[in-house]
Structure 1
Amino acid sequence: MGSLFLFLAIMYVGYKVFSFFASLGEDSTNQMNNEPPTHVTIHPVANFMEGFYAEDCDVYIKGPVFLYSGEEEGEEPFYAYGEGTLLFRNSTGNVHIQLKKLNDGRIVPVKFCINGTLFPVIDKNGVFLPLENGNYNFVSIARTFCFMLQEQSNKGVNHNLQQENYLFLRNLIVFNMLGKRSMITNYSNDHITIPYKDVEIFDQKCVEFTEMAHKTIWSYENSFSKQHQNQKIAELLKILELPTDTKSLDVIKKQYRKLAQKYHPDKGYSSDEKIKQIIAAYEELCEQLKAS
């Protein structure tokens, strides 16, 4: 009898211990289920894959760009990107930008075409990369855009198309910045994944990164414009048969008069194209140097 009682007592205690630990497991599971998720997946509200005509600026846009609306009314939308060709088109020109996804998840341009002419992209050191099979890990989107902007102007592309081009490439920089800082941990054509801890500050960071991207682009644009101006001045000085470091307007004016006499048709020079070229170079050179 005593042995049976002892056996039953042991069984009872065992049951209570088992129940206690089982309840702990249930509480732990419930607690885990009540915890917020580690990541949030968001889906785009629109995309440009089928093409979109922006009536307000008269530009047609098509490509792997995906639009996510801001959390609050009035907030700027967020753009995500994928691989493929990004097209901008209106009556003044066609711009095609080939986008590629790198191993680290960034999307970068690898070449672009303006009105049928193909151009390379530029790396962070200002070096032009090969049109095919280049090392695109160091592509500078900001430098490339400044080069693109210059070539668009040369090709007669109007301001509206250039402005849309700028907005999309600026937002591409923002997209890459968010990925580099792990604020976007995964993405595809139908979603982006954001760490739960960053959800509340995501829109604010988009605004901050947009301003940073804007400043980066235009800092390069100013230096790129200065470099382009210096190259142009050097070319004009060569036409006037002067050293490329000549800065004196008096020296340039004296040389212009000398060449005007040398190549004047009345002096027996067979073609007036040379004198026209000299006159045009002199006039532009004076404008460039006065502006600088």
Structure 2
Amino acid sequence: MKPASADDVLGAIAACRSITTPTWIDTDALEEQGWYTAEVRGERRRTRKVRGIYESRNNRAYVVATRDELRSRECAIQARLESTSNYVPLLQQVSQTLGMPTGQDGFAYTWDLDGLAMRVEPTGERSAPSARFVLTALPLVGTDDILSAVRACIPAIGAEGFGDRALAEDGWAQDAAATAAVPEERETKLFRSGETAALVSSGKDRGVTSVCRVSGRIEDEATAENLRSALTGLYGTPSAKGDDLIWTHDGRSLRLVTYERDGATGPIAFHIPVSYVGESE
């Protein structure tokens, strides 16, 4: 990787902004903008494609949308730095176009980009430093908002699948623009409420089971633990499946999925798909 300029980073940010929605990262649209699956040269000068990494001619930054980013609804940019001392000057140049950061946490900085949140922090080794920019459309939400959205989802999913009437009765309305941005084959509708920042969407869990899904980002691990405790207080002791926790209530399954990465800092993306499993005898 060669060092990326501020213009390179801004070009990659523009690409990420155009494909990032609360329910989907539209990587198919990258090719239309001149971004293609990256290639690396291996033994005997042979090249191989690196799935989830995208490059563009005359741009030294990379767009990253691997399986991890897709699951957490993030679009990332990896930019090589000449040295660690180039980190802050790069951000200063980026700020001339995007405006000043809205927050700082140590060496990490955040921006609010018209409904998208962007966080950047230094990564890599001292001998090969880089900056990682991460964009997401998922809102930052608190425990009370999440619980309110979960309570709305429970009656919206039943033996016949998802029904939005129960959501409407609870004050949730479909976000037509965001829903239209999702590929039709994903069968996803996005809903918002003026009473909570959490997002609710319909869809398929793992492509099979109809769900009412609550999504967002939580501040940190302490908030995640508080959420786990609150769900347990409401719905009893959960079972575990891998890193996921599953509660059963009133014929529904509530599965808490958090996307915590080793070495990563900042907010944690989460999803709570609520599905119908039938009444227990």
Instruction: Settle same-fold status: TM greater than 0.5.
Output: no
> How high is the TM-score relative to the length of structure 2?
0.23
Structure showing greater Rg: 1
> How high is the TM-score relative to the length of structure 1?
0.23
